[in-house]
């Protein structure tokens, strides 16, 4: 159960909204009322509705779609406690006249999933001339991925399901799959019954950058509406700027007096793979 933003646009014209989205991400990391509502429905009132288990970002600055600078940061600290780290990412976005592409993620680890710096998102991997970065909210069937890829289950228990999602994409691409095809297979096969997932992927191929996302819900319990409302991402359009955001962030920005009448939004269906 995590929160995330995926975004791209010109760093000059989009600076204000991107910095605001970061502030909202920090806000919901401290207290996420959507998560609080979900916990009440699931009768998990003993769990705190925050996202304290690390954060990270992957920021690319580009001329057009050609990447010129990369910034990659991950921390085991909570985002709301890492003032210097947040100052750094805001300076990256504010100080240049480039197209900016970004993934930012705050983590609330699932029960029995590993904790610590290595398990904070984003995860990155190189495949020949391609660099992939991944962030993920929700769960996939980690044991099934490890079994299909012949990973030792003891090793599998020491990494997160999100990390194994990236390893699956790497394996698929190395065996000839296209990225969108690989993302679809990942979501179709491993977001199985009772699970929900939102995925963000940054693909840099020979210095050319693209952003992709996936969304699946296969939960059918009595709290379906709360699960759907929590996990569903929203895509925002404003002044040539595009962002995919978690629901907790969306609910705040669409009520903001500055943005509520000028921002456009798209609500993805429950099962979708797309390019941002």
Q: For residue 94, what are the domain limits?
A: 3-275
Tokens 């996420």: give the residue: 32
Could you report how far apart the first and last alpha carbons of the chain are, in Å?
22
Based on C-alpha coordinates, what's the Rg of the chain? 18
Helix H or strand E encompassing 134: strand 130-138
Q: How many domains does the chain have?
A: 1
Tell me the C-alpha distance between 212 and 198, whole Å: 11
Reference 68, options 89, 103, 96, 105; nearest CA is 96
DSSP-derived 3-state class of residue 139: coil
CATH number reported for the structural domain that contains residue 122 in this entry: 3.60.20.10
What's CA 162's distance to the chain center, in Å? 10
Give the number of residues written for the chain. Answer: 276
Whole-angstrom distance, CA of residue 130 vs CA of residue 107: 26
- Per-residue pLDDT of the chain (276 residues), as tens digits, is 899 999 999 988 899 999 999 999 999 999 999 999 999 998 887 788 999 999 999 999 999 999 999 999 999 999 999 999 999 999 999 888 899 999 999 999 877 788 899 899 999 999 989 999 999 999 999 999 999 999 888 888 899 999 999 999 999 999 999 999 999 999 999 999 889 999 999 999 999 999 999 999 998 888 999 999 999 999 999 999 999 999 999 999 999 999 989 999 999 998 899 999
């Amino acid at each position: 159960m995590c929160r995330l933003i995926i975004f791209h646009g010109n760093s000059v014209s989009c600076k204000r909204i991107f910095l605001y989205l970061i502030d909202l991400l920090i806000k919901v990391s401290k207290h996420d009322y959507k998560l609080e509502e979900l916990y009440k429905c699931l009768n998990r009132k003993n769990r705190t509705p925050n996202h304290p288990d690390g954060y990270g970002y992957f920021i690319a600055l580009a001329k057009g779609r050609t990447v010129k600078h990369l910034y990659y940061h991950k921390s085991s600290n909570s985002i709301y406690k890492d003032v210097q780290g947040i100052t750094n990412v805001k300076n990256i976005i504010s100080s240049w006249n480039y197209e900016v592409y970004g993934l930012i993620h705050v983590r609330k680890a699932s029960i029995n999933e590993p904790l610590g710096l290595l398990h904070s998102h984003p995860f990155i991997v190189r495949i020949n001339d391609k660099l992939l970065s991944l962030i993920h909210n929700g769960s996939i069937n980690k044991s099934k991925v490890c079994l299909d890829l012949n990973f030792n289950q003891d090793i599998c228990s020491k990494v997160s399901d999100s990390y194994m999602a990236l390893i699956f994409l790497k394996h698929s691409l190395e065996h000839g799959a296209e990225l969108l095809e690989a993302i679809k297979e990942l979501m179709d096969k491993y977001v199985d019954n009772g699970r929900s997932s939102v995925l963000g992927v940054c693909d840099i191929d020979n210095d050319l950058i693209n952003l992709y996302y996936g969304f699946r819900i296969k939960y059918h319990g009595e709290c379906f509406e709360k699960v759907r409302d929590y996990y569903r991402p929203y895509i925002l359009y404003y002044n040539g700027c595009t962002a995919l955001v978690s629901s907790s962030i969306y609910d705040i920005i669409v009520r903001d007096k500055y943005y509520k009448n000028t921002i456009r939004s798209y609500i993805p269906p429950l099962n979708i793979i797309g390019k941002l």
